[in-house]
Structure 1
Amino acid sequence: MAKIIYQRILFVLLVCFGINASAAEVDTVLTHSDIMKKDIKAVVILPNNYSKKVSYPVVYLLHGFSGNYADWITKDAPVQNLADQYHCIIVCPDGAFASWYIDSPVNSYWMYDTYVSKELVSYIDAHFSTIKNRTGRAITGLSMGGHGALSMAIRHQEVYGAVGSMSGAVDLKPFAKDFAINQILGEYKDNPKSWADHSVVGMVDQLKPGVLKIIFDCGADDFFIGVNNALHEQLLKAKIAHDYTVRPGAHTWEYWSNSMNYQMLFFSRFFDKLN
């Protein structure tokens, strides 16, 4: 009798508080990069009640400098709940300690633009039930990953339909002596043009109005706030529509965990409108 009463109480709690007995499925997959000739792990988060009969949009979520593919599920971030809430697949690639998600012009070992935007996207589309075109793909990330998301989306506008950045290092030039960027681009003094061309602020002229849906933000106390404000002004001048927000906060997981809620809502509206 006590067991029956307990089950009834549990049922009432589930109904009253909207608790879903099933939850997002988190898995780690081993992918292969032909261009870099190595295996690379990624986290794949499937929404609850995932079905192969349904085609899901995918959000590629990038980690920052010194991080790895597991950051977004081991830190205090709401990504599993967001996969459930918006019925999408979230993929967290590994961008190595300091790849900057760039195809390095000086070292062929670092080819993470091609890996994420071509090899990983192809793997995910082949192994999961996805919307297999740009109307069902978005990409975002934090810090180094914010730079990577924007730069890859601009370079591959045929792959991604929406892009975001949280506290992104959107201009690499002011940080030429920091974050191991020189191992990817070489020394700034030797080729300043390459640094300019690989910075997001140097790619704005590649954007056409209305092609990419863009959202980015930065904390008011973040050391990247200056370059983000400058990118915002540059996009305004170029008449490229975008959502830009400055919120209280710094370069912290507390800030990024909150930011993800706004970015996922933005991506969900993009997916719903086109699919």
Structure 2
Amino acid sequence: MAVIHMDFFSSVLGMTSSVSIVMPQDVQPGEKLPVLYMLHGLSDNENTWLRQTTLEYQLSKYRMFVVMPNVHRSFYSDMAHGRKYWTYVSEELPKIVKAMFPISDRREDTFAAGLSMGGYGAMKLALAYPERYAAAASFSGALDIHAIENLFEGSEFTDIFGDAAGTQEHKDDLFHLANVAAKSGKELPALYQCCGTEDFLYADNIRFLYHIKALGIELTYEEETGLHEWGYWNMKLPRVLEFLTGAAKKDAVTT
């Protein structure tokens, strides 16, 4: 596998941004490979998945690109007082990497996954743009923005989500996005969610699970004894990659 650390200028962010990419080093001429957008948590960056898990080793079993952007503490949102990280991740970044690397643009070849804040980001991509993603996975996701204000100090929470963060139908609320997706009539991505039963976000994950199930959206959920920590996420990593690639095969057959 090849690991690339890339800096480039983002017009959306108005500054230089960084991304790490893992890819096969034997890509053949004309070959277009699947892509997984692997999203980091609140206190991490574009390199943390590589530093804390066996991701590179696990990827040796698959032929795909993994793109890991840095969004700082933005919660993958167009911040009320800050940068437009949602537009960056959902619109600009895919265009940039597909222009530079042999990445497929087919829905059945496109996935998102992440931990904690990144689990939120992965579900947000899947629910906001179901026509673009075959599958998405959340590791111990911070899935309920109405319940996480205590994670922030000072004005950081409202800097991200704005003064109306507590209202229903907020643009960044996954529960609202799930309602819209369920009513859209679109084929939805295969969704996977896992969380340790001792995780401080466990109750939020169960609340999101019940909401998704009540809407009739299919979601694979798994839980085990575990905390909000890298040992649990590394343990679940092979299962998530297996789920995503399995969903891709199923999507290819049905389409």
| TM-score (normalised: structure 2) | 0.90
Determine the structure 1 residue equivalent to 2:132: 159
Determine the structure 2 residue equivalent to 1:200: 174
Determine the structure 2 residue equivalent to 1:101: 76
- Structure 1 CA distance, aligned partners of 2:151 and 2:24? 38
Q: Contact 1:146–1:165 (CA<8 Å) still a contact in 2?
A: yes
- Structure 1 CA distance, aligned partners of 2:165 and 2:74? 18
1:87 aligns with 2:60: no
Could you report, residue by residue, the CA deviation over 1:212-240 in whole angstroms, capped at 9, with x for unpaired residues?
11011101110011011111111111110
Displacement, 1:195?
Answer: 8.0
Determine the structure 2 residue equivalent to 1:116: 89
1:174 aligns with 2:147: yes
- Structure 1 CA distance, aligned partners of 2:107 and 2:180? 17
- Structure 1 CA distance, aligned partners of 2:116 and 2:138? 8
Number of residue pairs aligned between Structure 1 and Structure 2:
246
Which structure 2 residue ranges, 5 or more long, are not aligned?
none
Residue 214 of structure 2 aligns with an amino acid whose one-letter code is K
Displacement, 1:47?
Answer: 2.2
- Structure 1 CA distance, aligned partners of 2:56 and 2:30? 21
Q: Which structure 2 residues correspond to residues 225-244 of structure 1 after superposition, within 5 A?
A: 225-244=202-221
| Cα separation, partners in 2 of 1:255 and 1:52, compared to 1, 3 Å | farther
Determine the structure 2 residue equivalent to 1:270: 247
Q: The residue matched to 1:234 in structure 2 has which SS?
A: helix
Could you report, residue by residue, the CA deviation over 1:176-195 in whole angstroms, capped at 9, with x for unpaired residues?
232343320134xx552278
| Cα separation, partners in 2 of 1:194 and 1:237, compared to 1, 3 Å | closer
Partner residue of 1:147 out of 112, 120, 125 = 120
| Cα separation, partners in 2 of 1:244 and 1:34, compared to 1, 3 Å | same
Aligned structure 1 segments of 4 or more residues deviating by more than 6 angstroms: none
Q: The residue matched to 1:181 in structure 2 has which SS?
A: helix
Residue 160 of structure 2 aligns with an amino acid whose one-letter code is I
Could you report, residue by residue, the CA deviation over 1:143-175 in whole angstroms, capped at 9, with x for unpaired residues?
011111111221122322211110101001122
Partner residue of 1:259 out of 217, 221, 236 = 236
Q: The residue matched to 1:228 in structure 2 has which SS?
A: helix
1:78 aligns with 2:54: yes
| TM-score (normalised: structure 1) | 0.84
- Structure 1 CA distance, aligned partners of 2:168 and 2:161? 7
Q: The residue matched to 1:227 in structure 2 has which SS?
A: helix
> Identity rate of aligned residues, in percent?
25
Could you report, residue by residue, the CA deviation over 1:89-123 in whole angstroms, capped at 9, with x for unpaired residues?
11111011x1000112x22x321111111111111
- Structure 1 CA distance, aligned partners of 2:8 and 2:126? 21
Displacement, 1:197?
Answer: 4.2
Could you report, residue by residue, the CA deviation over 1:56-89 in whole angstroms, capped at 9, with x for unpaired residues?
10011011002111111111x1211222211111
Residue 90 of structure 2 aligns with an amino acid whose one-letter code is S
Partner residue of 2:36 out of 50, 59, 65 = 59
Determine the structure 1 residue equivalent to 2:159: 183
Q: Contact 1:31–1:120 (CA<8 Å) still a contact in 2?
A: no
Determine the structure 2 residue equivalent to 1:13: none
- Superposition RMSD on alpha carbons, in Å? 1.8
Which structure 1 residue ranges, 5 or more long, are not aligned?
1-23
Displacement, 1:271?
Answer: 2.3
Displacement, 1:37?
Answer: 0.9
Q: Contact 1:26–1:45 (CA<8 Å) still a contact in 2?
A: yes
